[in-house]
Amino acid sequence: MKYTITKRRMRDGSRALYMMKKTIAGKWILTSVFPRAGDALRSPFFVFLFSVSLFSVSAPFSARADIAAAGDMQLVSSALDDGGGEALKGGEYWSRGTITHDAMPENVGLVTGGDYSNRKGFYNPPYLLYQRGLPTVLVMASGDMRLTIPADSVGKETFDITLNKNPENEPMLVEPEKITEANNKIVRNEGPWAQLFANNLSEMGIFDEQGYYTAPLAKRGTLAMRYKDDNNDGILDGSNPPVRASSLNAWSLDEVHNTWVQLPGAAADKSSKMLFSYFDKPGVYALLGSLVESIPRTFKAFPVPFRPNGPQAGVGPGQTGTAAAGITFEGVPQTGKIEIYTLDGRLVRNISIPDNITDPFQLKWDVKTSAGEKAASGVYIWRVVSGSDSKTGKLMVIW
């Protein structure tokens, strides 16, 4: 689809800019009339279309000079795709397909462009153009986010998508006060483990030259967001109190009630540190954690039996342990306690669980009683309690 800007004289003698677009059938239709050139140049959609589409000007005037005079906006490199071109990339974003594609080209490649952060005005965040009949794939080059929308999900023939990574300080559509209120509510209800981190927040907008698209998508897409755990300890970087990466979930902002709503079916990929959830409408999305109180099914104690002086003594797989290493509980929650009992119900040891244990979340028992004496040989019952959850098992000690 192509656009043209022409300057013509109106009935009252003044001049105006006419914006027209060429349809797929080859017909030109009038889309906008701007009585003054400045009105057109101050339109975000005009500036965006000027930067990504091919324009012809029938009356002599300097596009560069007029654009340069339009506040902080400036003219950047324009791009035209005849239908067989490659994917386009700028800064942290790249796009598969453009408005002029009627099918996904076989030679989809990657054409690098400038860093979008050097552009001004409406180019930051950048707008990327898509077609209704094609699947939409929007990926940050940094890998921090990936948005996938099936074909025919948006009720417009062509549409733009923009991602805003800083909606609290640089709002696009949603008022920052709504995000702040939602944050305060969830921290009051869930505790400080649910605090919001700036890099775990994004705003997605869909629009065209007629306005923003706010309706739910006809087909659900997929949103993937990366969390920060650079040292691979299972704790979200910079969190205090410690927030376990395993507790993260995807949430969307309810702009009516100013609350966070958890998205069902979110799944984490530990190797890529990405959390995947569905995407069903434009808005603000976040990754939020919680206090881990649940006891996983994989919770275990080893070695069993504990026999530090036997022929298989050692700390490797299949070995029976050492006095220095003691007995290890693995997969412990973030709060609670582990109790050790004799078979007749006498409490031998009570071990509190600290909240800063790192992956694989292990806690050791030195095989001593609460009085500091070595526990006698025999069979013991262990019980882990966290919130309303609990689990029990058996141990055997042989000296």
- Model confidence pLDDT, tens digit, residues 135-194: 888 887 677 888 899 999 999 888 888 888 889 988 888 999 999 999 999 999 999 999
Tokens of 283: 């808005």
Answer with the residue of higher pLDDT: 89 or 169: 169
Amino acid, single-letter form, for residue 58: S
Question: Given 17, 44, 79, which residue is the final one in a domain?
Answer: 79
Mean pLDDT of 3-27: 56
Rounded Cα distance, 361 and 359, in Å = 5
Residue pair 183/288 in contact by the 8 Å Cβ criterion? no
How many domains in the chain? 3
Question: Given 45, 79, 113, which residue is the final one in a domain?
Answer: 79
Residues 212 and 98 occupy one common structural domain: yes
Mean pLDDT of 273-282: 92
Residues 182 and 264 occupy one common structural domain: yes
Residues 257 and 304 occupy one common structural domain: no
- What is the reported pLDDT for 313? 96
CATH number of 343's domain: 2.60.40
Residues recorded for the chain = 399
Domain assignment present for residue 293? The answer is no
Question: Given 26, 52, 79, which residue is the final one in a domain?
Answer: 79
Residues 52 and 124 occupy one common structural domain: no
Residues 110 and 206 occupy one common structural domain: yes
Residues 272 and 356 occupy one common structural domain: no
The alpha carbon of residue 350 and the mean position of all alpha carbons in its chain are separated, in whole angstroms, by 40
Residues 121 and 2 occupy one common structural domain: no
- What is the reported pLDDT for 41? 44
Domain assignment present for residue 294? The answer is no
- Model confidence pLDDT, tens digit, residues 306-315: 999 999 999 9
Domain assignment present for residue 141? The answer is yes
Residues 241 and 278 occupy one common structural domain: yes
Rounded Cα distance, 30 and 27, in Å = 10
Taking residue 231's Cβ as centre, other Cβ atoms within 10 Å add up to 10
Residues 170 and 241 occupy one common structural domain: yes
Percentage of the chain beyond pLDDT 90 is 50
pLDDT over threshold 80, residue 131? yes
- Tell me which DSSP letter residue 244 carries: B
Supply the pTM of this predicted model. Answer: 0.66
What pLDDT band is residue 12 in, cutting at 50, 70 and 90?
low
Domain assignment present for residue 142? The answer is yes
Answer with the residue of higher pLDDT: 378 or 100: 378
Domain assignment present for residue 228? The answer is yes
Answer with the residue of higher pLDDT: 64 or 178: 178
Mean pLDDT of 363-377: 96
Domain assignment present for residue 295? The answer is no
Rounded Cα distance, 4 and 288, in Å = 46
Residues 311 and 333 occupy one common structural domain: yes
Residues 88 and 196 occupy one common structural domain: yes
Tell me the average pLDDT of the chain: 77
Picking from 152, 150, 236, the residue whose alpha carbon sits closest to that of residue 193 is 236
- What is the reported pLDDT for 10? 53
- Model confidence pLDDT, tens digit, residues 338-349: 999 999 999 999
239 Ramachandran zone, left/alpha/beta (phi>0; psi -120 to 50): beta
Domain with 360 in it = 300-397
Residues 131 and 220 occupy one common structural domain: yes
CATH number of 144's domain: 2.60.220.30
